[in-house]
Amino acid sequence: MFKTPDYSHITSQDCQLVYEPAEDTFLLLDALEKEFETLQNLRPLICVEVGCGAGVVITFLASLLKSDTLCFGTDINYNAAQLSQKTSNQNGMTVNTIVSDLVNALQPRLNGLIDVLIFNPPYVLTPSEEVGSRDIVASWAGGIDGRQVIDRILPIIPTVLSPKGVFYLLILKENKQDEIEDIMNSHGFEMAVVLQRRTGPERLSVLKFTRIDMTYA
Ligand SMILES: C[S@@+](CC[C@H](N)C(=O)[O-])C[C@H]1O[C@@H](n2cnc3c(N)ncnc32)[C@H](O)[C@@H]1O
């Protein structure tokens, strides 16, 4: 129904430095499209994609929402922030891209104000030592259970999301969905599975978290 952003400007050289849009990227686009009505009803003012990579997802979200929405993309990789800016420009969208670890650069100013937060994290199971780089390795290196970066963002969600805010997280089966659900329950969030897909050896899911009781927000 909605057009995938044009990313024909991305060169093979870019792909040596920045995560190339892949199956997980497109699963996230499909999940956002499935959530279109929910997102429209939410009337989000501020949306953030953490780890925006080549910028296809946040550009797609900006194009879905069109109107008065401020969109930010953060990435720990400088080249990704640069490329995301190009992708949004190429598609006539306005996205503000920032080099940042998770949402650090937006805190504390945007605490409690982010209506939509998206993260397709580095989810691959790798040795811990590979986690924490600022280059292309940061695209996939997830450390133990592929959870070392995921586990850093979960406790931040209650602080940064607005009362009605939604958090979309893409995970791999091996990331242990049940444990992630328990952690988010303990922070006052409930979980729903938006989409699941098997792509080659990977079983990917897009999870959605919303506050169980908005009076605690
Ligand atoms: C799997 S890629 C996803 C890229 C893009 N969102 C997509 O779906 O195609 C993960 C992205 O997260 C970024 N990243 C990894 N750790 C990060 C961190 N601590 N803070 C911000 N971005 C991070 C990587 O540089 C990479 O661009």
Return the pLDDT at 119. Answer: 98
What percent of the chain stands above pLDDT 90?
96
Is any atom of ligand 1 closer than 6 Å to the C-beta of 84? no
User: What pLDDT digit, counting tens, does each position of 162-171 carry?
Assistant: 999 999 999 9
Return the pLDDT at 217. Answer: 45
Give the pLDDT band of residue 67 (cuts 50, 70, 90).
Answer: confident
Which residue owns the Cα nearest ligand 1 atom 6? Answer: 52
Is any atom of ligand 1 closer than 6 Å to the C-beta of 28? yes
Nearest 5 degrees, angle CA 88-CA 85-CA 116? 70
Q: How far is the CA of 168 from the centre of ligand 1 (A)?
A: 14
Q: Which atom of ligand 1 is nearest to the CA of 24?
A: 8
Q: How far is the CA of 75 from the centre of ligand 1 (A)?
A: 6
Compute the chain's Rg from CA coordinates.
16
Q: What is the mean pLDDT of residues 96-101?
A: 98
Return the pLDDT at 134. Answer: 98
Q: How far is the CA of 66 from the centre of ligand 1 (A)?
A: 24
State the residue range of the domain holding 149.
Answer: 14-216
Residue 7 lies in a domain: no
Conformational region of residue 166, where left means phi above 0, alpha means psi within -120 to 50, and beta covers everything else = beta
Q: What is the mean pLDDT of residues 23-45?
A: 97
Read off φ and ψ for residue 141, nearest 5 degrees: -70, 105
Q: 50 and 103 in contact (C-beta within 8 Å)?
A: yes
Residue 9 lies in a domain: no
Residue 173 lies in a domain: yes
pLDDT of residue 50 exceeding 80, the answer is: yes
d(CA 59, CA 71): 9
Q: 157 and 109 in contact (C-beta within 8 Å)?
A: no
Is any atom of ligand 1 closer than 6 Å to the C-beta of 85? no
Beta-carbon count within 10 A of 157 CB: 22
- Total of domains in the chain: 1
Beta-carbon count within 10 A of 122 CB: 24
Return the pLDDT at 216. Answer: 47
Looking at residue 86, which CATH number applies to its domain?
3.40.50.150
Q: Which of 43-57, 61-75, 119-133, 136-150 has the lowest mean pLDDT?
A: 61-75
Give the pLDDT band of residue 215 (cuts 50, 70, 90).
Answer: low
User: What pLDDT digit, counting tens, does each position of 174-193 carry?
Assistant: 999 999 999 999 999 999 99
Is any atom of ligand 1 closer than 6 Å to the C-beta of 21? yes
Residue 1 lies in a domain: no
Residue 2 lies in a domain: no
